[in-house]
Amino acid sequence: MNAKIKIENLNLYYGSFQALTDVNMNIYEKKITALIGPSGCGKSTFLRTLNRMNDLIDSVRIKGNVLLDYKDIYAKDYDIIKLRKKVGMVFQKPNPFPKSIYENIVYGPRIHGINDKQKLDEIVERTLKEVALWDEVKDRLKKPAMGLSGGQQQRLCIARCLAVEPEIILMDEPTSALDPVATLRIESLLEELVRKYTIVIVTHNMQQAGRVSDYTSFFLSGRVIETDETDIIFSNPDNKKTEDYITGRFG
Amino acid sequence: MTNYEETMELVSLNDNSRKKYYWKNHLFYIFIYLMAAITILVLVAIIGYILINGIGHINWEFLTSEPRSMGREGGIFSIIIGTLYLTVVAIAVSAPIGVLAAVYFAEYAKESKWVKTIRFGTEVLAGIPSIIFGLFGFTFFVIFLGFRWSILSGGLTLSMMILPTLIRATEEALKTVPQSYREGSLSLGATKWQTIIKVILPSCLSGILTGLILGIGRAVGETAAVMLTAGSALGLPESLMDPARTMSVHLYILASEGLSKEKTFATASLLIILVLLINTIASKVVQRFINKAKA
């Protein structure tokens, strides 16, 4: 199996606090990998090391390797712009820009140098169809994105992410701010997207991890306790702590 | 509510101390009501007095003809133009500097001693009496740089006065932009600069505009600093290097030299209308800004 991202001995510190300890993991191509664990276990921090969003925080230090297509993304000459184009991100709270639906989607492509109107129109239609939002918004593309419902906004954010043609999509609890119906729509969307993209999703919701993911990693206190195929993690985990967490004995 | 008042009344009839309390409450209410009324009255009286005395003398001729015999006769056309020029120069100089400085403070600078010192400096600058700016502008622009009494000297001096307000307003506006916009933009592969130009500044444009409008208000209302740097020539200014007289300066000279009561009040009325207009626009813009933030 092809490991799209290979994480080797990753350690991360916020100042003197160690948030991640010796994380080793493979993220497989065109699969959904779920990261589960109690609050503060480091799963979101870990997700953010994969597109170097932690660079925004000054006190963060990182040791170890994160190899994307066999290249270390923390190497000095690695282009962070190209990295983020390749590794898209969807956030916990839908965060469309205060612009129109259309402008939200073409923002990324324009930044990367696409200015041809026809091409941009194509991107908008393609990505909105990919997230099953096209039929709902095709008549109001020029209207503010803030006017959409929470679930629609989150799908728009996914479309915005797809518009720069990433290979990997990182999702940080993408449904935790949404109602159950909107959550289900996003989940069924994930099943479509995984045919083309590699997905890493942080979730608090264990049923969600069980429903959508191919692989699951269980984080606890900054360490990866166990990583395996989701079916195995949920039916027959190796580690007692994993079993306790999954059966709801803590967390 | 009525029930409560009725009870209070019954109680107050029987109980002396309660009665006292009741009246104290009422007295206090009357007192603060009076204070509020006085504030409004003063405002209405000033504006009303000026407008009543002045607005009748504002006519087409007053607006479009140039002042004659020191301003006793004629209109204030060249003075309106002078005010306009000076304000435009002041804004054109201070807007880019102020906005970029605010971007530096809000987006780039880390909380260091250096930044705190600069920020403290800007705040002090905002509180300095305008005549000090005037004195500096006079010695530096007018004499040392040899710009003489001119729109350029005056505009530069005013822009220094506007800067602190503008930086402050812009910085506050930038702080209201949610962190999630920055993250969203950066995660798409945008650089920090692209994020600032394309997402952050547009989403707080109204806040910046408010700062600018307040700055314009300050520029239009300034007298002392302008007299020291732009002079008080009555002629129509033709270039940046020409001296000019603004409405505030004109008003000051007309009043202090007792040239014409009518023209004084007409100029004052026009100035009030201008300031009211600017404030109305500012609050409208602020309102839009707030509504947008809620959406």
Give the residue ranges of DSSP H helices in chain A: 43-49, 80-86, 101-111, 117-130, 134-137, 150-162, 180-193, 206-212, 230-235, 240-246
Q: How far is A199 from chain B (nearest CA, A)?
A: 15
Q: How far is A86 from chain B (nearest CA, A)?
A: 9
Q: What's the rounded Cα separation, in Å, for the pair B176 and B246?
A: 36
Work out the angle at residue B219's Cα, subtended by the Cα atoms of residues B218 and B225, and round it to the nearest 5 degrees.
Answer: 105
Counted across chains A and B, CB pairs separated by less than 8 A come out at 69
B184 closest CB neighbour out of A56, A83, A95? A95
Q: Which residue has tokens 């799963």? A: A43
The answer to whether A59 and A17 are in contact (CB under 8 A) is no
Contact assignment for B191 to A95 by CB distance below 8 Å: no
The answer to whether residues B39 and B166 belong to one domain is no
| A112 in contact with B, Cβ within 8 Å | yes
Which tops the pLDDT comparison, B6 or B286? B286
| A105 in contact with B, Cβ within 8 Å | no
Least confident of A31-45, A133-147, B196-210: B196-210
Is B67 part of a structural domain of the chain? Answer: no
Is B94 part of a structural domain of the chain? Answer: yes
Q: What's the rounded Cα separation, in Å, for the pair A92 and B180?
A: 10
The pLDDT of residue B218 is 85
A83 to chain B: which residues are within 8 Å by CB? 189
Total structural domains within chain B: 2
The pLDDT of residue B7 is 65
A248 — phi, psi (to 5°)?
85, 25
B184 to chain A: which residues are within 8 Å by CB? 91, 95-97, 157, 160
When pLDDT is averaged across residues B215-222 and rounded to a whole number, the result is 86
Of B51, B62, B91, B86, give the one whose Cα is nearest residue B272: B51
The pLDDT of residue A58 is 84
State what percent of residues in chain B have pLDDT above 90: 51
Q: pLDDT-based confidence at B18, cuts 50/70/90? A: confident
The answer to whether residues B51 and B127 belong to one domain is no
The answer to whether residues B243 and B167 belong to one domain is yes
B188 to chain A: which residues are within 8 Å by CB? 84-85, 88, 107-108, 111, 160-161, 164
Q: What's the rounded Cα separation, in Å, for the pair B208 and B198?
A: 15
Chain A segment 154-193 residues within 8 A of B by beta carbon are: 157, 160-161, 164
The answer to whether residues B182 and B227 belong to one domain is yes
The pLDDT of residue B195 is 95
Q: What's the rounded Cα separation, in Å, for the pair A145 and A137?
A: 10
Burial track B17-32 (b if 16+ CB lie within 10 A, e otherwise): eeeeebeeeeeeeeee
In the predicted structure, residue B1 carries a pLDDT above the cut 60:
no
Structure tokens at B211: 């700062």
The answer to whether residues B35 and B89 belong to one domain is no
Contact assignment for A160 to B188 by CB distance below 8 Å: yes
In the predicted structure, residue B294 carries a pLDDT above the cut 60:
no
When pLDDT is averaged across residues B165-180 and rounded to a whole number, the result is 91
The pLDDT of residue B209 is 85
A88 to chain B: which residues are within 8 Å by CB? 187-188
Structure tokens at A4: 């799209």
The answer to whether B3 and B9 are in contact (CB under 8 A) is no
Contact assignment for B184 to A97 by CB distance below 8 Å: yes
Cα-Cα-Cα-Cα dihedral sign, residues A172, A174, A179, A185 = negative
In the predicted structure, residue B181 carries a pLDDT above the cut 90:
yes
In the predicted structure, residue A119 carries a pLDDT above the cut 80:
yes
The answer to whether residues B40 and B149 belong to one domain is no
The pLDDT of residue B9 is 63
In the predicted structure, residue B282 carries a pLDDT above the cut 80:
no
The pLDDT of residue B11 is 58
For A158-211, the pLDDT digits (tens) are: 999 999 999 999 999 999 988 999 899 999 999 999 999 999 999 988 889 999
Q: What's the rounded Cα separation, in Å, for the pair A37 and B116?
A: 41
Contact assignment for A98 to B203 by CB distance below 8 Å: yes
| A108 in contact with B, Cβ within 8 Å | yes
Is B63 part of a structural domain of the chain? Answer: no
Contact assignment for A157 to B199 by CB distance below 8 Å: no
The pLDDT of residue A251 is 65
Which structural domain range is residue B36 located in?
Answer: 2-57
CATH number, domain of B120, equals 1.10.3720.10
The pLDDT of residue B24 is 84
Chain B segment 162-191 residues within 8 A of A by beta carbon are: 178, 180-191
In the predicted structure, residue B286 carries a pLDDT above the cut 80:
no
Q: pLDDT-based confidence at B13, cuts 50/70/90? A: low
Residue-averaged pLDDT of chain A: 92
B197 to chain A: which residues are within 8 Å by CB? none
In the predicted structure, residue B207 carries a pLDDT above the cut 90:
no
Structure tokens at B49: 């007095």
CA closest to A163 among chain B residues: B188
State what percent of residues in chain B have pLDDT above 70: 92
Is B62 part of a structural domain of the chain? Answer: no
| Neighbouring C-beta atoms of residue B51, cutoff 10 Å | 16
Which tops the pLDDT comparison, B214 or B293? B214
When pLDDT is averaged across residues A12-36 and rounded to a whole number, the result is 94
The answer to whether residues B41 and B136 belong to one domain is no
In the predicted structure, residue B127 carries a pLDDT above the cut 50:
yes
| B294 in contact with A, Cβ within 8 Å | no
Is B70 part of a structural domain of the chain? Answer: no
B187 closest CB neighbour out of A82, A88, A96? A88
B189 closest CB neighbour out of A91, A97, A164? A164
Q: How far is B149 from chain A (nearest CA, A)?
A: 46
Which tops the pLDDT comparison, B218 or A83? A83
Is B71 part of a structural domain of the chain? Answer: no
In the predicted structure, residue B295 carries a pLDDT above the cut 50:
no
The answer to whether residues B222 and B263 belong to one domain is yes
Is B269 part of a structural domain of the chain? Answer: yes
Q: pLDDT-based confidence at B12, cuts 50/70/90? A: low
Structure tokens at B235: 């002629």
In the predicted structure, residue B155 carries a pLDDT above the cut 90:
yes
The answer to whether residues B100 and B174 belong to one domain is yes
Distances in Å between the alpha carbon of B271 and those of B76, B217, B222, B248, B249?
12, 10, 11, 8, 11
The answer to whether B249 and B223 are in contact (CB under 8 A) is yes
The answer to whether B213 and B281 are in contact (CB under 8 A) is yes
The pLDDT of residue A7 is 94
Q: What would the 3-class secondary structure string for chain B be?
A: CHHHHHHHHHHHHHCHHHHHHHHHHHHHHHHHHHHHHHHHHHHHHHHHHHHHHHHHHCCHHHHHCCEEHHHCEECCHHHHHHHHHHHHHHHHHHHHHHHHHHHHHHHHCCCCHHHHHHHHHHHHHHHCCHHHHHHHHHHHHHHHCCCCCCHHHHHHHHHHHHHHHHHHHHHHHHHCCCHHHHHHHHHCCCCHHHHHHHHHHHHCHHHHHHHHHHHHHHHHHCCHHHHHHHCCCCCCCCCCCCCCCCHHHHHHHHHHCCCCHHHHHHHHHHHHHHHHHHHHHHHHHHHHHHHHHHC
A93 closest CB neighbour out of B180, B190, B199? B180
Is B35 part of a structural domain of the chain? Answer: yes
B106 — phi, psi (to 5°)?
-80, -35
| B268 in contact with A, Cβ within 8 Å | no
B86 — phi, psi (to 5°)?
-60, -45
The answer to whether residues B28 and B152 belong to one domain is no
In the predicted structure, residue B277 carries a pLDDT above the cut 50:
yes
A95 to chain B: which residues are within 8 Å by CB? 178, 180-181, 183-184
Q: What's the rounded Cα separation, in Å, for the pair A241 and A72?
A: 32
Q: What's the rounded Cα separation, in Å, for the pair B201 and B173?
A: 9
Q: What's the rounded Cα separation, in Å, for the pair B170 and B197?
A: 14
In the predicted structure, residue A63 carries a pLDDT above the cut 50:
yes
CA closest to B193 among chain A residues: A111
When pLDDT is averaged across residues B205-215 and rounded to a whole number, the result is 85
The answer to whether A28 and A215 are in contact (CB under 8 A) is yes
For B37-86, the pLDDT digits (tens) are: 999 999 999 999 999 999 998 889 888 888 888 888 888 999 999 998 99
The pLDDT of residue B3 is 67
Q: What's the rounded Cα separation, in Å, for the pair A157 and B32?
A: 52
The residue length of chain B stands at 295
The answer to whether residues B27 and B103 belong to one domain is no
In the predicted structure, residue A226 carries a pLDDT above the cut 70:
yes
CA closest to A164 among chain B residues: B188
State the helix-helix crossing angle for A150-162 and B179-187, rounded to 10 degrees.
Answer: 30
The answer to whether residues B205 and B268 belong to one domain is yes
Which helix H or strand E contains A60, and what residues bound it? strand A60-68
ipTM: 0.91
B189 closest CB neighbour out of A98, A111, A147? A111
The answer to whether A219 and A42 are in contact (CB under 8 A) is yes
The amino acid that residue B3 corresponds to is: N
Ordered structural domains, chain A, with CATH:
3-246 (3.40.50.300)
| Neighbouring C-beta atoms of residue B82, cutoff 10 Å | 30
| A205 in contact with B, Cβ within 8 Å | no
Residue A3: partners with Cβ closer than 8 Å, 6 or more residues away = A26, A27, A28, A29
Least confident of A117-126, B175-184, B206-215: B206-215
Give the residue from A55, A57, A95, A143 with the most B CB atoms within 10 Å of its CB, the best one to mutate. Answer: A95
The amino acid that residue A84 corresponds to is: R
